[in-house]
Amino acid sequence: MARSVLVTGGNRGIGLSIARELAAAGDAVAVTYRTGEPPEGLFGVKCDVTSVDDVDTAFSKAEAEHGPVEVVVANAGITKDTLLPLMKEETFTDVIDVNLTGAYRVARRASRGMLRMRRGRIILISSVVAMLGSAGQTNYAASKAGMIGFARSLARELGSRGITVNVVAPGFVDTEMTGVLEPEQQAMILKNIPLGRIAAPADVARAVRFLAGEDAAYITGAVLPVDGGLGMGH
Ligand code: NDP
């Protein structure tokens, strides 16, 4: 039977690619979207991950359509880049609220059904920036590094119940998020990527499919870099 999957921020970019990859592998996929329309052919549930009620409703709708959520991908994320002396408090806390606290809200709600089923896969989308740091991204790097400590603690809590918790750390991926960077910034990043190209969203999606699948049954608490070597395994 198809597994019930929920991908946050699954209406575009990396999240959409993950949703399509898992749907193609036979899963019943629900995606959350905040703005616009849900993508063609996928079950869309409206949700802002900064709202605990939205997250709860999104899970309830996905469960009503596809059954208890067995695989969750916390992918929704934002950047609000600026150097620290210019960074207002809400520029810091907004990014933490979406990226880190949002992942907490999603994983917490997901764990309810997974604990009952005694199985599940929780996958969090972090970033190479969590390990490398990045000037102008103290808020983003803190949120993404926080996800790793969160995931590893949760992996310890849920391991005995057959639930794995893993992190995917993409490098530089071709989406709207990176499209805003200046060509010079892009060229500079490219120089530091051993594989010599930026990632396509599908590169990340395939790693997520692996962690969500049977072949990754004995992997938990891991951080899987998908960065063309940019972070050299960190
Ligand atoms: P995009 O900017 O293309 O898409 C972001 C997604 O997150 C959208 O679906 C957006 O929904 C959703 N989202 C943003 N804020 C919220 C919110 N408050 N509640 C619910 N959904 C929200 O980003 P990418 O696809 O590039 O990034 C996806 C993830 O991958 C992010 O966590 C990002 O940090 C991470 N990542 C990206 C990298 C890259 O190079 N692109 C590198 C490393 C990590 P909406 O359309 O409604 O705004």
Grade residue 1 by pLDDT with cuts at 50, 70 and 90: confident
The answer to whether position 131 is within a domain reads yes
Question: Atom 27 in ligand 1: which residue has the minimum CA distance?
Answer: 14
Treating both helix axes as pointing N-terminal to C-terminal, what angle do 13-24 and 201-212 enclose, rounded to 10 degrees? 50
- Overall residue count recorded for the chain in this entry: 234
Structural domain boundaries, residue 147: 4-224
For residues 145 and 52, give the distance between their C-alpha atoms in angstroms, rounded to a whole number.
22
Ligand 1 pocket residue status of 56, Cβ below 6 Å: no
Condensed to tens digits (0 to 9), the pLDDT of residues 71-118 reads 999 999 999 999 999 999 999 999 999 999 999 999 999 999 999 999
pTM for this prediction? 0.98
Q: Which residues contact 86 (CB under 8 A, 6 or more apart)?
A: none
Model confidence at 163: pLDDT above 90:
yes
Grade residue 33 by pLDDT with cuts at 50, 70 and 90: very high
The answer to whether position 81 is within a domain reads yes
Model confidence at 145: pLDDT above 90:
yes
Model confidence at 179: pLDDT above 90:
no
What is the CA(50)–ligand 1 centre distance, in A?
13
For ligand 1, mutation pick of 75, 148, 224 (most atoms within 8 Å of CB): 75
CB 127 within 8 A of CB 170: yes
The answer to whether position 220 is within a domain reads yes
Place of tokens 């959409």: 16
Condensed to tens digits (0 to 9), the pLDDT of residues 9-20 reads 999 999 999 999
pLDDT of residue 177: 86
Q: Which atom of ligand 1 is nearest to the CA of 172?
A: 40
Q: Which residues contact 179 (CB under 8 A, 6 or more apart)?
A: none
Q: Which residues contact 83 (CB under 8 A, 6 or more apart)?
A: 135, 136
For residues 157 and 221, give the distance between their C-alpha atoms in angstroms, rounded to a whole number.
11
Grade residue 181 by pLDDT with cuts at 50, 70 and 90: confident
CATH number of the domain bearing residue 103: 3.40.50.720
Q: Which letter, b or e, does each residue of 173-207 get, where b requires 16 or more Cβ atoms within 10 Å of its Cβ? A: bbbeebeeeeeeeeeebeeebeeeebbebebbbeb
The answer to whether position 229 is within a domain reads no
The answer to whether position 142 is within a domain reads yes
- Number of domains the chain is built from: 1
Judge whether 104 counts as a catalytic residue.
no
pLDDT of residue 85: 98
pLDDT of residue 155: 98
Q: Which atom of ligand 1 is nearest to the CA of 47?
A: 20
Question: Atom 44 in ligand 1: which residue has the minimum CA distance?
Answer: 127
Model confidence at 24: pLDDT above 90:
yes
For residues 143 and 145, give the distance between their C-alpha atoms in angstroms, rounded to a whole number.
6
The answer to whether position 233 is within a domain reads no
The answer to whether position 173 is within a domain reads yes
The answer to whether position 35 is within a domain reads yes
Grade residue 178 by pLDDT with cuts at 50, 70 and 90: confident
